[in-house]
Amino acid sequence: MSYRVYIESLGCPKNEVDGERIEDLLSQRGFKIVEDRNSADILVLNTCGFIQPAKEESIEKIFDLISLKNNDPTKKIVVCGCLVQRYPEELWSKLPEVDAFLGLGQIDKVDLICHSVLKGKRILKVCQPGEENGLKKIKRGAQSRPYAYIKIADGCDNHCSYCAIPLIRGRFRSKRMEDILEEASWLAEKGVKEINLVAQDTTMYGVDLYGEKRLPHLLFHLAQISKLKWIRLLYTHPAHFSDELIEQIASNPKVCKYVDLPLQHISDQILSRMNRKVTGKEVERLIFKLRKRIPDLTLRTSFIVGFPGEKKEYFKELLKFVEDVRFDKLGAFPYSREEGTEAYRFKGQVSSRVKQERMDQLMFTQQRIVLEKNQTMIGKTFTVLIDARSEEGNGYFLGRSQSEAPEVDGVILVKGAHLKIGEFVKVKIVDYSDYDLIGEKI
């Protein structure tokens, strides 16, 4: 009898890759993956435990599954991911309705765990962060989208003072290049046109395995995979960007002219308290170099507002920087005080009211910039990858050019008949709405 499993992943693309790994492992071991959780025998939730709002969302989802189980006690619940890795004992003792809790290093055993809970066992399996590589190669399953993520490394050694990731995912560990290339070839054979490279810090790829940064080499070799059309780089770190990497992004035709460069702040006082290992001047020089060498670059970044000790003048400095640089894509987060991190004990904690005021000011400034930039897009033509048909049944398709990363950026709504998912089409932009562009196939 093949048991039916419902899987839901929360959090970042790196966790999404772990969720796909669980799905691939279970389907390869005879479990049937189902979309409808009501029909499932086993409910698997892959949690996020990074910051407060993400933790609350994970807990809420667990209680959701518990109420399903209360209506049908034959169902089993398996909870895994970052929240479990961070709070194993608390979850185990406070949520007896959950049948198994799996830490990050244990997901390769998920099929065995599922068989055990079906026999009525209750299991807690968590090892030290990074103890289990978690980067072993596995065959990726069928792909329903024309884009996919590849996790090229896990863990982080940067120890930014506000960040709990090193506590959860352990030391920085690169995946072997041959395994990444094999995974990418496999995905391209499955019809994937675009791969997004993810890690906590992609710019440090290879330092642990090869004794030097090997991201430019990896990009070069990935581009040799003929069926792969786009390679997108996410989660770079300003302190680890090399000229060789800039050159590879600029000259490699398959590498999207898109850089995701989380900066977190620009004031030197805050950057050093965050332990970001970079100064405001160095950041400005890097952006200047990137834009000079890659003229049509799309630059994404993210900032934290309300970090302990963020005086008004430091925030003003950040606001001016955002106005001057005019990022193409920008995300911002209010500082989340996370136990176990260095900044948790810092003096000068900022009130939630002030954090929210600064968030609003920053996002209002960015929205104005995006609308001005969108205005200049009208009449321009782009190569667009068609991701899906719009669910609004309005005859539009959802697509992206090299300037839009999946799931985090706006999309291009494409009017056109008989477009196919995974097809590249030429699109002329005719309008925009908020963060999305609207275009017609030409």
Is residue 163 involved in binding ligand SF4 (CB under 6 A)? yes
The window from 19-27, 53-61, 151-159, 300-308 that contacts ligand SF4 (CB under 6 A) reads 151-159
Is residue 159 involved in binding ligand SF4 (CB under 6 A)? yes
Angle at 395 between CA 389 and CA 397, to 5 degrees: 35
CB atoms closer than 10 angstroms to residue 426:
12
CA 161 to chain CA centroid, Å, is 20
* Cβ 283 to ligand SF4 shortest distance, Å: 14
* Cβ 155 to ligand SF4 shortest distance, Å: 8
Name the nearest CA neighbour of 249 among 213, 302, 297: 297
Identified binder of ligand SF4 from the candidate list 27, 158, 185, 252, rule CB under 6 A: 158
Q: Which of residues 89-148 bind ligand SF4 (CB under 6 A)?
A: none
Cβ pair 136, 108 in contact under 8 A: yes
Helix, strand and coil content of the chain, in percent to the nearest 5, comes to 40, 20, 40
Give the DSSP letter of residue 328: S
Instruction: Please give the Cα distance from 278 to 267 (Å, whole number).
Output: 10
Region for 386 from its dihedrals, namely left if φ exceeds 0, alpha if ψ lies in -120 to 50, beta otherwise: beta
Name the nearest CA neighbour of 405 among 435, 434, 367: 435
* Cβ 82 to ligand SF4 shortest distance, Å: 11
For residue 131 the two structure tokens come to: 């103890």
The window from 19-27, 32-40, 162-170, 342-350 that contacts ligand SF4 (CB under 6 A) reads 162-170
Q: Identify which of residues 159 and 311 has a Cβ nearer to ligand SF4 in the complex.
A: 159
* Cβ 6 to ligand SF4 shortest distance, Å: 29
Beta-strand ranges (E) seen in 71-176 are: 76-81, 100-102, 123-125, 147-151, 153-154, 173-174
Site string for ligand SF4, 191-220 (x = CB under 6 A): ---------xx-------------------
Is residue 156 involved in binding ligand SF4 (CB under 6 A)? yes
Identified binder of ligand SF4 from the candidate list 76, 125, 140, 237, rule CB under 6 A: 237
Identified binder of ligand SF4 from the candidate list 11, 19, 105, 166, rule CB under 6 A: 166
In 265-338, alpha helices (H): 268-273, 280-293, 312-325
The window from 156-164, 294-302, 344-352, 399-407 that contacts ligand SF4 (CB under 6 A) reads 156-164
Q: Which residues bind ligand SF4 (CB under 6 A)?
A: 156, 158-160, 163, 165-166, 200-201, 237
